[in-house]
A and B are shown apart, each in its own frame.
Chain A
Amino acid sequence: MTSIQFFGQLSDVAGDARHIKLPSEITTMRALLDWLSQSSPELQEPLRQPGIFLAIDNSVVGLDANPQGARELVIGSVISGG
């Protein structure tokens, strides 16, 4: 099982976390976002927002990174600290 943690505005829609069995055909974060959008239509718009924050096992990644084998994936809205 892979844990997906959601942060920012996304957590309002998706909840704080989901635990899923990642389908083998999902080999990029981009594909993961598409899959989540299809399986949860309410996520479609927030996942398309610019500046989305992605991480695999505590490392920040881009859309082409492969999430297979990860323990934890992070998907967050655009960050805004300070």
Chain B
Amino acid sequence: MTYDIELAEAELDTAARLRLFTQAHAGRSGAVVSFTGLVRDLANGESVTALHLQHHPVMTKRAIQAFASEARQRWSLDGVCVVHRVGVVAAAESIVFVAAAGGHRRAAFEAADFLMDKLKQDVPLWKQERTATCARWVAPTADDQRAAQRW
């Protein structure tokens, strides 16, 4: 079982991350599922220039590790990778990369879905949208809350 949990200030090369993760699990695992979240350049009809991600220096990474561990046990995964950007993330850049490797596709799909819902709802990260004229904090949507309750 491999864990790769990281909070990154620099831009993510998600293609390289996925290639390395896949290579690390090729042979033993039957499925690798990955998800990349991108910063949208439009919100509520207004252009978004960037997101600012606030995090706690200890608790944020610890919470991600705890959910990765929970996913590993729940779906008997071979590997998990979670990389979340912190600080300022420009529009169109990747904000999060999640990958799960498992024996079969269903486990890998569900684990990646679970991890994304937990990142949205239960990991101490605070997201602020920046536009040309203002900055506003983002609250979780009703969809986010419903999604997290599935687990």
Contacts and interface: CB of A to CB of B under 8 A. Distances in A.
A58 B58 contact: yes
A62 to B, nearest CB: 14
A1 interface: no
Contacts of A80: 120, 125-127, 137-140, 144
Given A80-B126, A82-B120, A82-B123, 6 more contacts: A8-B137, A76-B126, A79-B122, A79-B126, A80-B125, A81-B124
B56 interface: yes
Contacts of A11: 54, 126
A5 B56 contact: yes
A77 B126 contact: yes
Given A8-B54, A81-B53, A82-B116, A55 B59 contact: yes
B59 A79 contact: no
Interface in B94-115: 95-96
A48 to B, nearest CB: 14
Contact of A81 (B58, B62, B84, B139): B84
Nearest to B147: A82
A77 B137 contact: yes
Contact of B56 (A51, A74, A78): A74
Top 8 A-B residue pairs of the complex, sorted by shortest distance between their CB atoms: A81-B125, A82-B120, A8-B126, A82-B119, A9-B137, A80-B127, A80-B138, A58-B58
Q: Give the interface size class of chain B.
A: 20 to 34
Q: Bin the interface of chain A by size.
A: 10 to 19
B126 A7 contact: yes
Given A8-B54, A11-B54, A74-B56, A79 B137 contact: no
14 contacts: A7-B124, A8-B54, A9-B137, A53-B124, A58-B58, A74-B59, A77-B126, A78-B140, A79-B125, A81-B124, A81-B127, A82-B95, A82-B96, A82-B116
Interface in A41-75: 51, 53, 55, 58, 60, 74
